[in-house]
């Protein structure tokens, strides 16, 4: 499998729960390197833009409100099969359906507040990484 990059976000509930280090440790133990990172408080415009693909969905307003409710930690992960590997670490969108030992099964309570985001494919990963980081802010190693 090729080395890939993927965009990861620790959402406001994850930052509030003080588990940034715990989540980073899971990335590192799975062989994913953090090659760019930034803590930020998303504006309404940023959150709407990032989740634009969901703008017709009934949960869009709640999703944007949640994503702007506090600071998030945004990072680029790099490694072999990084996109699927990160999705495996995250678990299913609905924590009630997430496999034991995944981040969402261990730390998320609801589908609205599910601790982490991860790109779901190569095109999405490229778009989402570009949304947050300039090429010179990514430190491949
Ligand atoms: O890639 P995921 O975060 O696993 O899932 P997604 O890209 O399909 O959806 C993005 C976020 O939108 C998800 O993390 C939580 C929210 N969401 C998705 N589907 C639903 C939802 N929220 C509610 N309340 N109901 C849904 O069916």
Catalytic residues: 117
CA 136 – ligand 1 centroid, Å: 31
Q: How far is Cα 38 from Cα 75, in angstroms, rounded to an integer?
A: 6
Residue 38 CA to its chain's centroid (Å):
12
- Choosing from 63, 64, 104 the residue with most ligand 1 atoms within 8 A of its CB, the one to mutate for a pocket test is 63
For the sheet with 3-10, list strands across it. 33-40, 72-80, 3-10, 116-118
Q: Is 16 in the pocket of ligand 1 (CB under 6 A)?
A: no
Mean pLDDT to the nearest integer, 62-69: 98
Give me the residue label for tokens 């590192």.
28
Q: Give percent of the chain with pLDDT exceeding 90.
A: 99
CA 112 – ligand 1 centroid, Å: 7
Q: Is 63 in the pocket of ligand 1 (CB under 6 A)?
A: yes
Mean pLDDT to the nearest integer, 4-8: 98
Give 11's contacts (C-beta < 8 A, 6+ positions apart). Answer: 66, 67, 72, 113, 114, 115, 116, 117
- Asked whether the beta carbons of 60 and 54 are under 8 A apart, the reply is yes
What pTM does this model have?
A: 0.97
pLDDT of residue 83: 98
pLDDT of residue 126: 98
Q: How far is Cα 107 from Cα 114, in angstroms, rounded to an integer?
A: 8
Name which residue sits closest to atom 4 of ligand 1, judged by CA.
93
Check whether 141 has a pLDDT greater than 90.
Answer: no
């Amino acid at each position: 499998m090729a080395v890939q990059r993927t965009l990861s976000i620790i959402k406001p509930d994850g930052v509030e729960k003080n588990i940034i280090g715990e989540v980073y440790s899971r990335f590192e133990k799975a062989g994913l390197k953090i090659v760019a990172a930034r803590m930020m408080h998303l504006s309404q415009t940023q959150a709407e833009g990032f989740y634009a693909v969901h703008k017709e969905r009934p949960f869009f307003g709640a999703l944007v409100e949640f994503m702007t409710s506090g600071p998030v930690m945004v990072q680029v992960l790099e490694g072999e099969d990084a996109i699927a590997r990160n999705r495996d670490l995250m678990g299913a969108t609905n924590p009630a359906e997430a496999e034991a030992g995944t981040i969402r099964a261990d730390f998320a309570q609801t589908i609205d507040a599910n601790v982490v985001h991860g790109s779901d494919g190569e095109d999405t990963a490229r778009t989402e990484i570009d949304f947050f980081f300039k090429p010179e802010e990514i430190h491949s190693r």
